[in-house]
Amino acid sequence: MRWFHEVVYEPGLLKIFRLFSLSVSLFFFLFYGFPTPTYEVLGTYRMMLAIMGLSYGVLFLYLTISHVRRWMKNFFLPVAVLASMFIPIGFINWAPQTVSMHTYPGLAFQPINSWTVTILMLFPLVITAWQYSFNIVLLFFAGLGIIDPIISLLIYEQGGEGLYMIIYASAVRIIAFTAIGYIITELMKNQRKKQEDLSRANTKLKEYARQTRELAVIRERNRLASELHDVLAHTLSGLAVHLEAIDAVIPKEQQQLRHEIQRALESAREGLKETRRAMHDLRAEPLESFGFIQAIEQMVKQYRLRGEIDVDLQLRKCPRQLSASVEQNVYRILQECLENVVHHAQADRVMIRCDSSEASRFRIIVEDNGIGFNPEAVDRSTHFGLVSIRERAERMGGSCSAISPAADGRGTRITVAIPMENSHDTHYDM
């Protein structure tokens, strides 16, 4: 049954249910306040009006108090629906019929009672069909609808005319309620299907927009890489050639000038090297050429050679078949972390591992043994590395945390948590 799971109520359902309960309560109290009828038997109905008004008032409070809803949890609405059914059946059918049959046998209020019960039970029928499936409607109204005939059998003499009228009215009510419930549940089913189709279409549209943005970013990166190659790399390369030519023609006795030329030449070569590295980083070729894990292994190998650091790579538990967006962002995050280690951490060892022990998300952890830093004192205007890592993590719907010092009073630990919905449960075997 649907209410045994975590229930998400249809929009506006509880609000309308509360308004119904309050309106019916005020209605009965209004008629209770009318002058006392001249017929003594109608005084019994006047007391019934007060009880009905009080009952629906209690139901209104039940639906209004939020603590009751949290305490009742998934049984909150079923209890309210059952109460709204038993109130008219119990007070309208039982008490007045008992008084009229045993005290005033000549009076018959059954038609009035039957119409009142039918009208008051119509609303919980709508609520049930609005929220639950048709099977629940059958359980509530086809199964519980036999209460009417049972009450009549207990009150009326066997074979009495009133008994047949009540049984007939109950049978018609059950059939009508079942048909109405079926129509409403089918309408709600179609509406939910359309909402799901719309939600899927909206999700596909968002994914298409995301892929379009990613493609635009890749194209812009490639354009920037081309600009770096055509302008800055060529300029630095030409500058290095000219400096080498100048160094070749400087007299040997001009040692100071030769020393400055060598320093300028080294700067030009280092700038050319960094420019080529930036061009390589801007392009998405590693992921496209090698795949996710192999691209990271290649990147780690380059940093080992470049920075003389020992990198312990443990990505065996990284989820398989990550989306292209997540792969790209994780690759850039690891690249940014290693770049920070080489330039700022003064570390000789880095550990990179993936932790997928949690069911809802997996984590990428990068920890070094460097000098550490104060994450809270990072200047967003000058330290773009950590800011970029956090932005990429948030772009994937995840989070990023930085702890420094990480262990033994040294180092830094960067942890990026990513929702598991971006991956599957299987893992790479390495």
Q: How is 145-186 classified by DSSP, letter by letter?
A: GGHHHHHHHHHSPTT-HHHHHHHHHHHHHHHHHHHHHHHHHH
In a domain, 282, yes or no: no
Instruction: Give the model's pLDDT for residue 44.
Output: 59
Instruction: Name the residue among 60, 2, 57, 64 with its Cα closest to residue 30.
Output: 57
Interhelix angle for 324-340 vs 292-307, to 10°? Answer: 10
Question: DSSP states of 246-296 as a string?
Answer: HHHHS-TT-HHHHHHHHHHHHHHHHHHHHHHHHHHHHS-HHHHHH-HHHHH
Strands, DSSP E only, in 316-398? 349-355, 361-368
Instruction: Give the model's pLDDT for residue 132.
Output: 85
232-256 burial, b for 16+ CB within 10 Å, e for fewer? bbeebbebbeebeeeeeeeeeeeee
Asked if 180 and 323 sit in the same domain, the reply is no
Cβ–Cβ < 8 Å for 317, 427: yes
Q: Which of 148, 179, 204 is the last residue of a domain?
A: 204
Q: Which residue has the tokens 């493609």?
A: 215
Residue 131, Cβ density class (10 Å: 0-12 exposed, 13-18 middle, ≥19 buried) = buried
In a domain, 241, yes or no: no
In a domain, 221, yes or no: no
Instruction: Give the model's pLDDT for residue 425.
Output: 41
Instruction: Give the model's pLDDT for residue 377.
Output: 63
Q: Which of 157, 188, 204 is the last residue of a domain?
A: 204
For 127, residues 6+ apart whose C-beta sits below 8 A from its C-beta are 13, 16, 17, 77, 81, 84
Cα 305 to Cα 297: distance, rounded to the nearest angstrom: 13
In a domain, 42, yes or no: yes
For 270, residues 6+ apart whose C-beta sits below 8 A from its C-beta are none
Counting the structural domains of the chain, the total is 2
Cβ–Cβ < 8 Å for 249, 214: no
Cβ–Cβ < 8 Å for 78, 103: no
Domain limits at 378? Answer: 287-430
For 325, residues 6+ apart whose C-beta sits below 8 A from its C-beta are 210, 211, 214, 395, 396
Instruction: Name the residue among 319, 350, 323 with its Cα closest to residue 337.
Output: 350
Cα 221 to Cα 210: distance, rounded to the nearest angstrom: 16
Cβ–Cβ < 8 Å for 229, 278: no
Asked if 193 and 333 sit in the same domain, the reply is no
Cβ–Cβ < 8 Å for 339, 388: no
pLDDT, mean of each 10-residue run, the chain (430 residues):
60 90 89 60 66 90 89 87 82 53 45 69 86 81 64 57 66 80 88 88 82 73 72 76 80 80 82 74 63 83 77 83 80 86 85 84 89 68 71 87 74 88 45
CATH number of the domain that 303 lies in? Answer: 3.30.565.10
Asked if 304 and 400 sit in the same domain, the reply is yes
In a domain, 230, yes or no: no
Cα 400 to Cα 93: distance, rounded to the nearest angstrom: 64
Q: Which of 204, 228, 249 is the last residue of a domain?
A: 204
In a domain, 213, yes or no: no
Asked if 200 and 303 sit in the same domain, the reply is no
In a domain, 234, yes or no: no
Instruction: Give the model's pLDDT for residue 415.
Output: 92
Looking at 38-160, list the stretches that DSSP marks H as alpha helix, in order from N- to C-terminal side. 40-64, 66-72, 76-87, 95-102, 110-131, 134-137, 147-155
- pTM (predicted TM-score): 0.47
SS3 content of the chain, % helix, strand, coil (to 5): 70, 10, 20
| Bridge pairing between strands 399-403 and 412-419 | antiparallel
Asked if 292 and 412 sit in the same domain, the reply is yes
In a domain, 361, yes or no: yes
Cβ–Cβ < 8 Å for 318, 362: yes
Asked if 58 and 155 sit in the same domain, the reply is yes
